[in-house]
Amino acid sequence: MRPFLFLFGYKHMRVKKRDLERFIELCGKAGLVYRDMRFREAYCEFICTYFTARSIIALSVSHGIEVETVREAGIPALFSRYKKRYGLIIGAAAFVFIIFLSSSVIWDIRIDGERRLSEKEAKEILRENGLYVGKLKRGLDTDKIENRTLIFSDDISWISVNITGTVAEVEIRETEPFPEEDESDAWDAGNLVASRGGKILYFEDVRGNIVTEVGETVSEGQLLVGGVYGSETSGDRYTVAKGRVIAETEREFRVEIPLYYEEKMFTGRMWSEKYLIFFEKEVKFFSNCGNSYKSCDTIYKEEEYTPLNPFELGELPIGIKTVRYMEYTAVRLERAEETAAGMAKSRLGEMIREELLDGEVMSMSYEGYIEGENYVLICRARCRENIAQEVEIELSFIK
């Protein structure tokens, strides 16, 4: 229906809600057809063809009903707007004719099977390996594309490409991530040593030869649970020591927040360039910057691509790319001490969560002060945490 409306032209119109009942009755008696009726604030909006719009306007005016035209579109509207520019009309018609009747290129890629990969990421992988919208069908080797994708992409383990008309139907199977292996499982023997000093509170799910006691104060690197058993009669036996050794530890955390920082501020100066993208070709047709942006200290570059999508039927390999260059300048700003203190406490909380993981803080004290151009926050904490660290025992007689 949309191509029909575009071909014969249509108008987007509206009538006030208070006149809606009379309007519907009049149109029904006159056999005037409209569609897509929807309410918006004090109006009811609808769409109708160019020819129907004339009759609706004439009928409404004769009965004192106000009908407004919001916008108009379609080929008649284009002819009305550009009726004296025949070259443009003929060129546009020829362009549309070529686009819609061409069957020698890939116009659409449909992907099935992606889960972790987004559709955009999957299409980018296919592009890198020779399949993209606008690719000529002649000489397109799907077997080669499949093989290249499997060789060069670590994210795809299986792929099938089938060309149906101007559409590439692609099925993929993503690579399953390998589960992380516990390296200690490959050891022949291992100890548990203290990752930091502390007072042992208790042992939990321990396997191995415990060589320390509850209540004992240990230092960093000290052996906690050994992976070697032995006696004069039976000789040595080896195992990989496992488990948790919970200890009370003393920690110090330090956070520094700069009191002065730089922030980029937009100066208001901006330049732009426009490019016509036709398949793989790029032609610049507008620029208002010359080389002036190249002399600026700080330039932020932003690109926007708008593909042609006639009647919302699908994107074509034709569109407009806009490149904007915006000038920024670096401004030195001062941060208030109260603000820096708040930021420091927030960052300190993140640091403690990352460091302790499944441990907990039993008590803490703070000290904050200014040192040079930084606000410094020191936190001294008494913690309860697992200090057992697995360390491999190298057995020289095992090759």
Are 58 and 9 contained in the same domain?
yes
Are 116 and 155 contained in the same domain?
yes
> What pLDDT is recorded for position 232?
58
Q: Which of 39, 64, 67 is nearest to 53 (CA)?
A: 67
Q: How many CB atoms lie within 10 A of CB 68?
A: 13
- Alpha-carbon span 310 to 136, nearest angstrom: 21
> What pLDDT is recorded for position 297?
56
DSSP 321-357: EEEEEEEEEEEEEE--HHHHHHHHHHHHHHHHHHHHT
What distances in angstroms separate CA 39 from CA 2, 18, 44, one per listed residue?
21, 12, 4
* Last residue in a domain, options 195, 221, 248: 248
Are 340 and 328 contained in the same domain?
no
> What pLDDT is recorded for position 103?
67
Beta-bridge mates of residue 168: 109, 163
> What pLDDT is recorded for position 295?
47
Residue numbers in the chain where pLDDT is lower than 70: 1-7, 78-103, 178-187, 231-235, 279-281, 289-298, 300, 309-316, 396-399
Q: Residue 31: which CATH number?
A: 3.30.70.1360
Answer positive or negative: Cα dihedral of 283, 287, 289, 293.
negative
197-252, pLDDT tens digit by residue? 999 999 999 998 899 999 999 999 999 999 887 765 666 788 889 999 999 999 99
Are 321 and 341 contained in the same domain?
no
Query: Is 34 part of a structural domain of the chain?
Result: yes
Query: Is 100 part of a structural domain of the chain?
Result: no
Query: Is 89 part of a structural domain of the chain?
Result: no
Query: Is 115 part of a structural domain of the chain?
Result: yes
Are 44 and 74 contained in the same domain?
yes
- Residue 196, φ and ψ in degrees, nearest 5: -160, 165
Are 287 and 345 contained in the same domain?
no
Are 295 and 340 contained in the same domain?
no
Burial 195-232 (b: 16+ CB within 10 A, else e): bbebebeebeebebbbebeeeeebeeeebbbbbbeeee
Query: Is 367 part of a structural domain of the chain?
Result: yes
What mean pLDDT, rounded, does the chain reach? 83
Are 162 and 193 contained in the same domain?
no
Q: Residue 150: which CATH number?
A: 3.10.20.310
> What pLDDT is recorded for position 93?
61
Query: Is 95 part of a structural domain of the chain?
Result: no
Domain region containing 206: 187-248
> What pLDDT is recorded for position 186?
64
Distance of CA 147 to the CA centre of its chain: 28
Are 160 and 205 contained in the same domain?
no
Query: Is 166 part of a structural domain of the chain?
Result: yes
- Residue 244, φ and ψ in degrees, nearest 5: -125, 140
> What pLDDT is recorded for position 399?
45
119-154, pLDDT tens digit by residue? 888 888 998 898 888 788 877 899 999 999 988 888
Amino acid at 287: S
- Alpha-carbon span 106 to 316, nearest angstrom: 9
Are 324 and 355 contained in the same domain?
no
294-316, pLDDT tens digit by residue? 545 567 677 787 777 666 656 66
Query: Is 391 part of a structural domain of the chain?
Result: no
Number of domains comprising the chain: 5
Are 276 and 342 contained in the same domain?
no
